[in-house]
Every structure is written in structure tokens, then in C-alpha cells.
Amino acid sequence: MWLPFLGLIFGLALGLLTNMQIPSIYENYLSIAVLAALDTLFGGIRAQLQQVYDDKVFVSGFFFNIILAAGLAFLGVYLGIDLYLAAIFAFGVRLFQNIAIIRRILLTKIDEKRHKRNKNSIE
């Protein structure tokens, strides 16, 4: 259960300790990729809670979203349109929706638990 968090912490530590950097031209792409990754991650958590989680969808969505976002930004640069804004908007909205759904599911779960406990104590 905690293995994924270990992965996250390990990745953060590796990045921060090695002081890795990318040229500032690619900063935009990376920021959008991070957003896409976060979106996929929360999407995955939501799917898990709704019991519709599929491994293939998650992993392919992760990489595909990142590539798509970076690709959009890249295309936008060459077309003179700030297409990365579209990606930021889409991912941002989805991020909020996913988090909202996760919150509601968790709230329902907590409510159910409390009901059960109350019932137990009455009996």
C-alpha cells in the first residue's frame, strides 16, 4: 500500500539531491507534463475508489496525456497560439473534478462507517 508513496518520495529526493535541471526553454513543457501526470494520478485514485480502475488505462493514460500535453504546447509554439493554455485548462478542470469526486466518495464512506458504529452501539 505504501510502496507508491515510497516511489514518489524517492523520485522527489533523487530530483532534489542531484539538483537536476532542464533548460528554461523547456520549462513550459515540463510544467504541463507535471500537470498531466497529476491529473492522471488523481484520475487513477478516483477510478480505484469507484472500483473501475484498470491498470492499462492508467499507465497508458499517464504517458499518453503527458505526450499529448507536451505535443500541444510544442505545436502551439510553432503556430503562435498559446495552445498550452488549452491543456492547462483541460487538466485543471479535470483535476478539480477528480478531487471533488474523491472527496465525496470519502465523505460517503466515512458517513457509512459512522452509521454502522451507531447501529452497533444501539444494538
Partner 1 sequence: MKKNMYTRITIVLFIIGLMIAVQYNTIKQPAERDTRDIWAIREELAEEKQRHSTLLAEIRSLNEVVGRYEQSEKANLQSALYQTLDRLKQQAGLTEVTGPGVVLRVEPAPELVEMGYEIKEISPDLLTQLLNALFKNNAASVSIDGNRVVQTTAIRDINGKTTVNSVPLSAPPFEIYVGTSSFKEAQKMYNSLQASTFIDSFYLDNFNLIIEEPTEHLIIPAFDQPLTNDYLTEVKKGE
Q: Please give the grid coordinates belonging to residue 60.
A: 497508458
Please tell me whether residue 24 binds partner 1 under the rule CB under 8 A.
yes
- Between the alpha carbon of residue 83 and those of residues 7, 39, 94, the distances in Å are 32, 18, 17
Size of the site for partner 1 (CB under 8 A): 34
Please tell me whether residue 40 binds partner 1 under the rule CB under 8 A.
yes
CB of 44 closer than 8 Å to CB of 94: no
Q: Which amino acid is at 96?
A: F
Give the SS3 label for residue 22: coil
**Cβ 117 to partner 1, closest distance in Å?**
29
Question: What is the C-alpha to C-alpha distance for residues 103 and 121, in angstroms, rounded to an integer?
Answer: 27
In this complex, which beta carbon is closest to partner 1, that of residue 20 or of residue 52?
A: 20
Please tell me whether residue 74 binds partner 1 under the rule CB under 8 A.
no
Question: What is the C-alpha to C-alpha distance for residues 119 and 102, in angstroms, rounded to an integer?
Answer: 26
**Cβ 43 to partner 1, closest distance in Å?**
11
**Cβ 60 to partner 1, closest distance in Å?**
11
Please tell me whether residue 123 binds partner 1 under the rule CB under 8 A.
no
Query: Which residues contact partner 1 (rule: CB under 8 A)?
Result: 1, 3-16, 19-22, 24, 27, 30-31, 33-34, 37-38, 40-41, 44, 55, 58-59, 62
